[in-house]
Structure 1
Amino acid sequence: MRRRAGSGSGSRSTDPYGETRWPMAAAVAVAMGLTAQLPDDLRLAEPWVLPSTAGLLLVVLIAGDPGRISRRTTILRASSIALIAVLALASSWSMVRLVHDIVTNGPETDSASELLRAGGCVWLGSVIACALLYFELDCGGAAARAERMPRTPDLAFPQQLTPEVSPEGWRPRFVDYLYLGLTNATAFSPTDVMPLVPWAKAVMSIQAVTSLGVMALVVARAVNVLQ
């Protein structure tokens, strides 16, 4: 039988389903690196601003809840949402600027290699941002999922739809949400994870449409430059 230590919003659960924060932290680090690699015209701010902001918020999360994600406090929740908002804002800005430059023949579009590099960074950054958004919003976040999985989740994974083929007490981890973000951005529709609530359907729809548009424009422009 599992035991819980303490009670209230600031208590730490001894629930074994709490997952380590390092995969999520590694994804944030990759996203910050991608932002720094973008041309100046595609960045929301100076190269150091967004990585520094995201890095500070990540340090707050790791310091406030080291090891496994199990502590639920207002500060940690706000920091996590702020971190995702920063990455999502940076990704959205870069995506809009990239589309604008392609349409108006911006400087990045004169070289197929530079265009593909910038497009790849923007696209992968959006995948990570969406994965973090799914990770944070599904069933109230990782700490809430570690404490208790609701009977009706926001996102239904195959292990939940077919429990007989999944381990007992299975919980989705960050890698599951990263896989969801990647497949939704490449298949442009749900693959094996079904959105069950409005916010999940809205986010997955926006991700699919924007990913399709960016990939189509980048590839078409690159082919045109090479001809």
Structure 2
Amino acid sequence: MNKPTKARPPSTRHTRRWPASLAVVAVLVLQVLVPTQVNALPRWLMPVLGGLLLLPLVWMNPFHLRRDEPWLRSVELVLLAVLVAVNAYYLAGMIFFLNNGDANEGKVLVKSALLIWVTNVVAFAVWYWEIDRGGPFARAPEHERETERADLLFPQMTVDLDGWKGWLPGFTDYLFVSFTAATAFSPTDTMPLTARTKTLMGIQSAIALLTVAIVAARAVNVL
């Protein structure tokens, strides 16, 4: 006689927040290293401003997403918009630096381009993580929220493979999507479905393409 199976207790697992927070902190630290030749702003401005915006998010959900407030998501989106806007400002500064004949220091150009590219990848990774299907709170099964339609179509969502049933993307998956978009200047294995995601990916690819093109143009000029 088969023994009756016991019902599984409700899941107490909570979606991790700390990978996204750690990525943003790393980018804010990198802002201190942006060369002054392409940045007319005070070095401390971006880390301090970003830290003030990040503080309430970490305070409310330091390691896992347990408490959801509407204003928290607004703060997150403002932080991302500031990161992208300042990064675009750095890119404009690098273009000005190159066009005015001051780009004789290869280290300045390469260092600036690398910092802009890394910031671009991390900022948009967090943005994709924040908006896909209504955000991480809506996607998390433990919160039993009604999700919005998918913004990104991951390969795991299109096939029926053993061990992948009920799969949900984590921050690493969104970081990979952002990395490939900044490398290939277009989507690769994960497709954008909504207009807002296509717009974000287009902006990200444009920033990455301009950054790489500037370094390539300088390299050709040197040769």
TM-score w.r.t. length of structure 1: 0.85
Report Cα offsets for 1:65-121 as digits up to 9, x if no partner: 233124221221122112212211211111122122222223xx2112221111111
- Equivalent residue runs for 1:56-205 within 5 Å: 56-106=52-102, 109-146=103-140, 147=143, 148=145, 150=147, 152-164=149-161, 167-205=164-202
CA contact (8 A) 1:34 1:121 kept: yes
Give the structure 2 partner of residue 221 of structure 1.
218
One-letter amino acid of the structure 1 residue matched with residue 57 of structure 2: L
Q: In 1, distance between residues paired with 2:66 and 2:157?
A: 21
Give the structure 1 partner of residue 19 of structure 2.
23
The Cα RMSD (Å) is 2.1
Q: In 1, distance between residues paired with 2:45 and 2:9?
A: 43
One-letter amino acid of the structure 2 residue matched with residue 47 of structure 1: R
Q: In 2, distance between residues paired with 1:204 and 1:53?
A: 25
Q: In 2, distance between residues paired with 1:151 and 1:2?
A: 27
| Identity of matched residues, % | 34
Q: In 1, distance between residues paired with 2:55 and 2:126?
A: 16
Report Cα offsets for 1:14-71 as digits up to 9, x if no partner: 663x321221112112211221101224336311111012112222111112331242
Q: In 2, distance between residues paired with 1:172 and 1:54?
A: 26
CA contact (8 A) 1:156 1:193 kept: yes
Number of matched pairs: 213
Question: Which shifted more, 24-33 or 97-106?
Answer: 97-106
1:42 partner SS: coil
What are the ranges of 5 or more consecutive residues in structure 2 without an aligned counterpart? Answer: 1-7
What are the ranges of 5 or more consecutive residues in structure 1 without an aligned counterpart? Answer: 4-13
